[in-house]
Amino acid sequence: MYKDYLMGNEAIALGALAAGVNVVAGYPGTPSTEVLETIAKRKTERVYVEWSVNEKAALELVAGAAYGGARTMVTMKQVGLNVASDPLMSLAYIGVKGGTVIMVADDPGPISSQTEQDTRHFAAFSKLPCFDPTSVQEAYEMIQDAFEYSEKYNTPVIFRPTTRVCHAYASVDIKEEKEYKVHKPEGFIKDSSKWVIFPRLSYANHIKIEKRNADLMAVFSDYAKNQIIEFTEAGSLAEKPKENLIKDFGESLNESYKTNEKEIRKGIATQGISYSYAMEAMKKVGAVKTLKVATPFPFPEQLAVAFLKDLDEVLCIEELDPVIERELTYICGKYHLPTKILGKLTGHVKNAGENTRDSVLENIQAFLAKDIRPAEDTKAMQGIEDTKSIEVVNNEVGETQKDSKELSSDLPPALPVRPPVLCAGCPHRASFFAVKEAMKGQEAVFCGDIGCYTLGNAMPLDMVDTCLCMGAGINIAQGLGKIEPNKKYFAFVGDSTFFASALTGIVNAVYNQANMTVVILDNSTTAMTGHQPHPGTGHTMMGEIVEKINIATILKGIGVSVIEERNPLDLKEAIKCVKETANKEGVKAIIFKSPCVALVRANKSACIDTSKCINCKKCIKTLGCPAIVIKEDKVCIDSSLCTGCGLCMQVCPVNAIKGGCDCE
What are the tens digits of pLDDT across the range 129-185? 999 999 999 999 999 999 999 999 999 999 999 999 999 999 999 999 999 999 999
Mean pLDDT within 485-499: 93
DSSP 501: I
- Average pLDDT across the chain, whole number: 87
The predicted structure's pLDDT at residue 237: 60
The predicted structure's pLDDT at residue 373: 39
Beta bridge partners of 74: 25, 102
Burial class (CB in 10 A: 0-12, 13-18, 19+), 371: exposed
Single-letter amino acid code for the residue at 10: E
Strands 23-26 and 72-77 turn out to be parallel
What are the tens digits of pLDDT across the range 345-385? 999 998 888 899 999 999 999 998 854 433 333 333 233 23
**Rounded-to-integer distance, Cα 641 and Cα 627, Å:** 5
Read off the pLDDT band of 262 (50, 70, 90).
low
What are the tens digits of pLDDT across the range 494-542? 988 899 889 999 999 999 999 999 999 988 787 777 888 888 888 888 8
The predicted structure's pLDDT at residue 539: 83
Question: From residue 531, how far is each of 472, 527, 537 by CA, in Å?
Answer: 22, 5, 10
Long-range CB contacts (< 8 A, 24+ apart) of 529-535?
531/596, 531/598, 531/599, 532/496, 534/495, 534/496, 534/499, 534/500, 535/499
Give the highest mean pLDDT range of 32-41, 362-371, 632-641. 32-41
Check residues 531 and 647 and name the one with the higher pLDDT.
Answer: 647
What are the tens digits of pLDDT across the range 558-606? 999 999 999 999 999 999 999 999 999 999 999 999 988 888 877 789 9
Closest CA to 180 of 46, 62, 24: 46
Whether 2-197 shares its CATH topology with 227-373 is answered yes
Contact 330, 284 (CB under 8 A): no
**Rounded-to-integer distance, Cα 122 and Cα 116, Å:** 13
Second-level CATH architecture of 607-658? 2-Layer Sandwich (3.30)
Q: Is the pLDDT of residue 235 over 80?
A: no
What are the tens digits of pLDDT across the range 404-458? 445 455 667 877 777 788 888 899 999 999 999 999 999 999 999 988 888 888 8
The predicted structure's pLDDT at residue 393: 30
Mean pLDDT within 33-45: 93
Mean pLDDT within 316-328: 93
Q: Is the pLDDT of residue 49 over 80?
A: yes
Q: Is the pLDDT of residue 344 over 50?
A: yes
**Is the model's pTM score more than 0.95?**
no
Single-letter amino acid code for the residue at 399: E
Domain residue ranges of the chain, discontinuous segments joined by +: 2-197, 227-373, 427-593, 607-658
Q: Is the pLDDT of residue 325 over 90?
A: yes
Residues 6+ apart with CB under 8 A from 603: 643, 644, 645, 646, 659
The predicted structure's pLDDT at residue 387: 30
Max CA-CA distance within the chain?
103
What are the tens digits of pLDDT across the range 295-307? 999 999 999 999 9
Angle at 327 (CA atoms; ends 325, 329), nearest 5 degrees: 70
Contact 450, 467 (CB under 8 A): yes
The predicted structure's pLDDT at residue 379: 35
Burial class (CB in 10 A: 0-12, 13-18, 19+), 346: middle
Mean pLDDT within 227-235: 73
The predicted structure's pLDDT at residue 93: 95
Read off the pLDDT band of 313 (50, 70, 90).
very high
Q: Is the pLDDT of residue 234 over 70?
A: no
| End-to-end alpha carbon distance in the chain | 81
Second-level CATH architecture of 227-373? 3-Layer(aba) Sandwich (3.40)
Fold of 2-197: Rossmann fold (3.40.50)
The predicted structure's pLDDT at residue 269: 95
Residues 6+ apart with CB under 8 A from 186: 68, 69, 97
Fold of 427-593: Rossmann fold (3.40.50)
Q: Determine the 3-state secondary structure of 16 from DSSP.
A: helix
